[in-house]
Amino acid sequence: MGDWRERALICHFRRGLASRILYQLASQPSSIDSLQDLMDITLECDTRYHETKKEKKNPEASKSNPFHSQSSSSSSHKKKKNLQKRDKPHYSLLNKDFKLMNSEKEKRIMEGLCTYCGGKHSLESCFKRPQNNLTQPSGQFPSQRKA
């Protein structure tokens, strides 16, 4: 009688697992007969996953690997640095309300640049500006419009 309850608990526990853990469980050599065994193996898989993820983020861990070449490590570090510089927003141009500072706004106007994105077009024709991406509302509900 207790066996069907254990199977039901195992089934519900598996439904809540991330797909990456389910893939690892599928590669386990033996069948899992109890909920406690499943929880232990799941914990091991999750810990292994997070350790691997942490090693990939930490460049110092990869340097300690004797099979990892120095040149590829330094080049990947440079690439990562360049991406971080490029993806970082220009917070120095924004005030505390995250709006463009007046000095920068005036500079863009003087140079004929868009005050929203800094592109070589007017603010009215800026495709990055959210208001320009929307269609103009008619101000009427569909039922009020003339056919």
pLDDT score, position 138: 53
Higher pLDDT, 13 or 67: 13
Lowest-pLDDT range, 20-29, 80-89, 116-125? 80-89
How many of the other CB atoms lie within 10 Å of CB of 21?
19
State the average pLDDT over residues 137-146.
Answer: 54
pTM, two decimals, is 0.39
pLDDT score, position 71: 47
Query: pLDDT digit string (tens) for 31-56?
Result: 788 899 899 999 998 998 889 888 88
Q: What is the mean pLDDT of the chain?
A: 74
pLDDT score, position 95: 74
